[in-house]
Structure 1
Amino acid sequence: MEQEQIKQKVLDILDHHKIGSLATVKGGKPHSRYMTFFHDGLTLYTPTSVETHKAEEIDNNPNVHVLLGYDGEGFGDAYLEIEGKAKINGSKELKDQIWNEQLSRWFAGKDDPNLSVLEIQPSEIRLMNEGKSTPVILDL
């Protein structure tokens, strides 16, 4: 599979799958949880509170791993394994961009001081279960 085809498939999965797992490092061990993801190109974003364990874990070790895209339809479902570095981004512009009313379950609004955004810059993206020769790695 050509790199442009891989990139298109990766972007397609990012466009159509918003829920995935985010693993951080806690005490030298992986710590995973489900998150809602948004993206701009290959950069991932997920809302969080600055008062969560994940914010503290990322401050201590910014290395993260994301699984995104599995449909649960069978063994051949395409999905992504993404390794990257996360940072906490508190910009008003980014909060405005990702805000939706579903987040009001956890936050008082897009101006809630606890609302922050994890910004994840991928260092490696593996496309899994797509064709006969997987995984394939997207050149970044």
Structure 2
Amino acid sequence: MSQENLKKKAMEIISKHRTGVLANVENNKPHTRYMTFFNKDLTLYTPTQMDTEKVDEIQKNPSASVLLGYEAKGISDSYIEVSGKSRINQSQELKQQFWDDSFQKWFDGPEDPNYVFLEIQPETIRILNTEGGPPQEFQV
């Protein structure tokens, strides 16, 4: 599959799945949790509170991995693994763009200074479980 087709397939999977698993490093060990993801041209954004351990962890080690997909039928679902670097993004534009009223459980609104995004800039994307074929990988 060409790089362009792989990118299209990855975008298709991302567009169908907003819930995924974020893994980063805590005390030299993997630390995973489910998160909600938004996408802008393969860069992933997940809302979080500035005063959480996730923020501390990525400030110490920005390496991150995200799994998206594999939610409907399970065994035959394609999914992606995004490996890259993460950083804190406090952009008011992003906060407005991705604001959802369900976030009011955690934030006072889009202007809340504790409302930030983890931005995961992909370096490698692997597409797995595609019709029994081998994993496909491309560099971003």
TM category, shorter: over 0.9
Structure 1: unaligned runs, 5 residues or longer: none
Aligned twin of 2:56: 56
Percent pairwise identity: 48
Equivalent pair of 2:123/2:139 in contact (CA under 8 Å): no
Structure 1 residue matching 2:25: 3-state secondary structure: strand
Structure 2 residue matching 1:22: 3-state secondary structure: strand
Structure 2 residue matching 1:88: 3-state secondary structure: strand
Structure 2 residue matching 1:32: 3-state secondary structure: strand
Aligned twin of 2:65: 65
Aligned twin of 1:96: 96
Q: What is the CA RMSD across the aligned residues, in angstroms?
A: 1.1
- Please state if 1:11 is matched with 2:11: yes
Aligned twin of 1:40: 40
TM-score normalised by length of structure 2 = 0.95
In 1, the alpha carbon distance for the partners of 2:134 and 2:92 equals 39
Kindly report structure 1 stretches of 4+ aligned residues shifted beyond 3 Å. Answer: none
In 2, the alpha carbon distance for the partners of 1:21 and 1:118 equals 13
TM-score normalised by length of structure 1 = 0.95
In 2, the alpha carbon distance for the partners of 1:34 and 1:132 equals 26
Letter in 2 for 1:6: L
> In the comparison of the two structures, how many residue pairs are matched?
140
Aligned residue runs from structure 1 range 59-138, under 5 A: 59-138=59-138
